[in-house]
Amino acid sequence: MLKSVFTLILFIAALSAHTQSYLLTGQVTDEHGNPVPFASIYKQEGGVGTAANSEGLFRLRLPAGEHQLLARAVGYRQTAERLTLDRDTQLSIVLHTEAYLLDEVVIGNGEDPAYAIIRKAIRSRKQHLNEAAPYTARVYIKGVQRLLQAPKKFLGIDLDEIGREIGLDSNRTGIVYLSESESRIRVHPPDDFHEEMISSKFSGNNQAFSFNRAADLKLNFYENHQPIFDGLSARPFVSPIADNALSYYRYRLLGTTEENGQVVHKIEVTPRRKAEPLYQGDIYILEDSWRIYGINLLLTKEASINILDTLHIRQEFIPLQSGQWQPSSIRFDFVGGLFSFRVGGYFAAVYSEYAMNPEMQRGKLNEVLRIVEGVNKRDSVYWAEHRPLPLTEEERVDYLRKDSLQRRRESKEYLDSVDRKANRFKPQSFLLGGYTYRNRAQRWRISMDGLATSVGYNTVEGLALNYGARYVKRVDTILDRDLTVYGNARYGFINKRFNGYVGTSFPLAKSFVNLSAGSDMQDLNNRGALPPLFNTISTAFFGRNYLKLYERTFARTAWRYTLPANVTLTASAAWENRLWLPNRSGYTFWEQNEPYLTSNNPFTPHADIPLFDENQSFKISLGAMYDFGTQYETYPHRRVYLPSKWPTLSVNYTKGIPGVFGGDTDYDLVTARLHKTEIGLGLYGRVSFDIQGGAFLNNKRLYYTDYGHFNGTKTLVSDQHLTTFLLLDYYLHSTAGNFVEGHGEYNLSTLLTSKVPLLRKLKLQEIIGVHYLHTSEMEHYAEAHVGLEWQRLRVMYARSFSSESGLRGKDAIRIGLRLF
């Protein structure tokens, strides 16, 4: 009995010693004692490791016993450290600058030996892209952004005061964003990727989730192209080992070294041409397997990147026990600026705890991200234990300062003081941009339109004031849902008619409801083809009053609900009284333009003959929309579906019901739409298309406002969208019969203009578009346009083709200005 107890005690002691873990901390420096930022430190067996922070400091928790650690960083010779852990230990690691030797026999007038290595890497690209087996890993991500330079004032705003509120120093510099997150990723190559956020910390807001996502830092150079992130470039970037990389890059072998018995080639990568989405820097390739060992690449303005001046990418890989190689760390360093502001920072990800071939559910992983309740509530003790990149002193102080500022900002006294200052009425601001009165403590605001932007001119009302206001109250802080009450008042100073309406929208369970009633002036074309601002300019300056209006009195209710299958259902019911109105004003700034003015009836331009009699309508509409997107992100209390790579399909049925509430209409209209924007074609730009069709199953009685309408253009400057015809009349081709329209646009994304030296810096995007329309009254009508786009401005040349002689062979220049 005593022997058994003694044996049990020995077993427990041995088990305790085996499971005991200790903390290894230290610093990685070079041979001169300078810190080596973001060096990788990992066990030789692979799968367990960490990285140093920006000051070379690291921490790693390991079980008791002997360990063989490897430390490496891009540009340094790998070193090995053997140690035995029986207590918390400090370790200093010195990395020596790597000496890559270049054999004399490769120097000459022939082709650089780098090309032979790169060709082998290109041939092996698909193998390495598809060889990875399913795995899981833990990913830690830190993001730091600093304001490096800022003026004292900008657009009349005192930036010193704002800087103090967000924790900047007296020079308006310092950390403006600091965030950490931990995630567990589950990957089934090549496409399935699932991420579950374990913890999240955001400096200055303990309620927010980190913006850091492991999915956002995925960067696979075995893919032909890397988009990196939206907005950085009009086109994705070409990998140095893409199938056609030799057409884009020059290569030079800088030298060869040996690590862990493997030969590593260091190759310099240089773009062949400027203004192309290409990297420059170094890529490290392993002999025999021809896989990527490390990445040290740079993107600059010469690669036509937006927002930033430079983006430095470093990526290191480690071998796992399965023979696979996976990233140990990836780091993005960036610097950029706009006007007098300069920003810089980095995002760094550390991968650890790799586990190969885990049990995984078969089939596509529809849930790509999961964030559960409480991941942003971890305390400082947890983070001190789990963060692999130790905080620098600046980051530690930033957390303390921002947390203190946040507690103060959340107090009612502070919110009230901010509101007192922000709510001051400024006549000039009210005139141009409107006025907002806000109560931050109670989460509501009242907004009123700007006076100058509410005034317009048309020939039906003359000078018209169209003024709106709205009240918004946050009623669900978890799901970010609001109650909105809005109203609008309109008065025509020439026809002396007053109109006004009120409405409200609010969440009801998991759906949204909208209620509205009143009267308003409406475009005869319910697609809103001509914005009132453009009509005001066209009428007052050029005597072209293209906008045709009618008055409606209405009451409407609408409902929207999204099913778990990502199908959005809509339903609405509306009663309307429609009244056609004649012109009441013929004024233009120049009398010689008056003969160009036309009546408010587009079919009788020289006589104000009523287009329709006053009538009532009661109609119901039912709709469904599905974008075939099955992938979603799960947040506490909600699910968000991601855009699909497939087109969105929507169908709608509208019934005009006679006799109900005095309704005069009797028709049944079914419409369908299939559309998709921004379909990526890699380096060759992107394509968008929109196909719509409709059929009146019954058109016993309907009025012009019930017709199928189309987006036309007659002004030089217009609000161009994908579904906009550039040469079609706004009203003449609306139909009470069947119709189909199609629109397509190809954006070459600087593919051609980047080759022209004088145009490179403008980053002009080339546009080619086609449009088609068929109705019961018009057999075939088509348009084609070509032009250039810059920001929200585009200039197009358009030409029409039609089976009808009156529409055939027209052409014009159109300037597009995106208002929203």
Average pLDDT over the chain, rounded to an integer:
87
Determine if residue 386 is left, alpha or beta; phi over 0 gives left, psi from -120 to 50 gives alpha, anything else beta. Answer: alpha
Using the 3D structure, point to which of 69, 95, 121 is the last residue of a domain.
95
- pLDDT at residue 18, rounded to an integer: 41
Q: How far apart are CA 115 and CA 43, in angstroms?
A: 33
CATH code where residue 31 lies: 2.60.40.1120
Q: SS3 string of 753-804?
A: HHHCCCCHHHCCEEEEEEEEEEECCCCCEEEEEEEEEECCEEEEEEEEEECC
Whether residue 818 is found in the same domain as residue 767: yes
Whether residue 603 is found in the same domain as residue 726: no
- pLDDT at residue 208, rounded to an integer: 46
Mean pLDDT of the 457-482 span:
91
- The amino acid that residue 632 corresponds to is Y
Whether residue 651 is found in the same domain as residue 680: no
257-271, 537-551, 629-643, 650-664, range with the lowest pLDDT: 629-643
12 has a pLDDT exceeding 60: no
Number of domain units in the chain: 4
Residue 514 lies in a domain: yes
- pLDDT at residue 207, rounded to an integer: 47
Q: How far apart are CA 49 and CA 60, in angstroms?
A: 7
191 has a pLDDT exceeding 60: yes
Q: Please give the full DSSP string across 491-505, using - where no structure is assigned.
A: EETTT--EEEEEEEE
pLDDT tens, 71-120? 888 778 888 888 888 888 888 888 888 777 776 544 455 789 999 999 99
Whether residue 624 is found in the same domain as residue 482: yes
Whether residue 535 is found in the same domain as residue 660: yes
Whether residue 32 is found in the same domain as residue 72: yes
Mean pLDDT of the 672-676 span:
97
pLDDT tens, 358-374? 776 554 568 889 988 88
pTM: 0.86
- The amino acid that residue 356 corresponds to is M
Determine if residue 226 is left, alpha or beta; phi over 0 gives left, psi from -120 to 50 gives alpha, anything else beta. Answer: beta
DSSP 3-state assignment of 446? strand
- Name the residue range of residue 752's domain: 676-820
Q: 350 and 50 in contact (C-beta within 8 Å)? A: yes
- pLDDT at residue 721, rounded to an integer: 92
Whether residue 703 is found in the same domain as residue 795: yes
Residue 116 lies in a domain: no
Q: How far apart are CA 175 and CA 178, in angstroms?
A: 7
pLDDT tens, 279-300? 999 999 999 999 999 999 999 9
Q: 456 and 477 in contact (C-beta within 8 Å)? A: no
Residue 550 lies in a domain: yes
Q: 319 and 326 in contact (C-beta within 8 Å)? A: no
Whether residue 84 is found in the same domain as residue 149: no
Residue 694 lies in a domain: yes
pLDDT tens, 309-344? 999 999 988 888 767 888 888 999 999 888 788 889
- pLDDT at residue 675, rounded to an integer: 96
Determine if residue 618 is left, alpha or beta; phi over 0 gives left, psi from -120 to 50 gives alpha, anything else beta. Answer: beta
Whether residue 683 is found in the same domain as residue 651: no
Grade residue 529 by pLDDT with cuts at 50, 70 and 90.
Answer: confident
Other beta carbons within 10 angstroms of residue 687's beta carbon come to 16
Residue 112 lies in a domain: no
Q: Which long-range contacts (CB under 8 A, 24 or more apart) does 428-436 make?
A: none
Using the 3D structure, point to which of 664, 692, 722 is the last residue of a domain.
664
Using the 3D structure, point to which of 95, 117, 143 is the last residue of a domain.
95
pLDDT tens, 777-794? 998 999 999 999 998 899
Mean pLDDT of the 342-348 span:
89
Token pair 């141009």 is found at: 432
- pLDDT at residue 312, rounded to an integer: 94
Mean pLDDT of the 168-194 span:
85
Mean pLDDT of the 676-703 span:
94
- pLDDT at residue 364, rounded to an integer: 54
The three-point CA angle 415-417-423 to 5° equals: 95
Whether residue 491 is found in the same domain as residue 630: yes
Q: How far apart are CA 236 and CA 637, in angstroms?
A: 35
- pLDDT at residue 360, rounded to an integer: 61
Whether residue 444 is found in the same domain as residue 589: yes
CA 746 to the chain's CA centroid = 20
Please, is 168 exposed, middle or buried when counting C-beta atoms within 10 Å of its C-beta (0-12, 13-18, 19+)?
buried
Residue 284 lies in a domain: no
94-98, 330-334, 679-683, 708-712, range with the lowest pLDDT: 94-98
Residue 124 lies in a domain: no
Residue 37 lies in a domain: yes
Q: 286 and 259 in contact (C-beta within 8 Å)? A: no
Grade residue 204 by pLDDT with cuts at 50, 70 and 90.
Answer: low
DSSP 3-state assignment of 680? strand
> Over pLDDT 70: what percentage of the chain?
94
Whether residue 184 is found in the same domain as residue 76: no
pLDDT tens, 533-562? 899 999 999 999 999 999 999 999 999 998
- pLDDT at residue 45, rounded to an integer: 65
- pLDDT at residue 107, rounded to an integer: 47
Mean pLDDT of the 494-517 span:
95
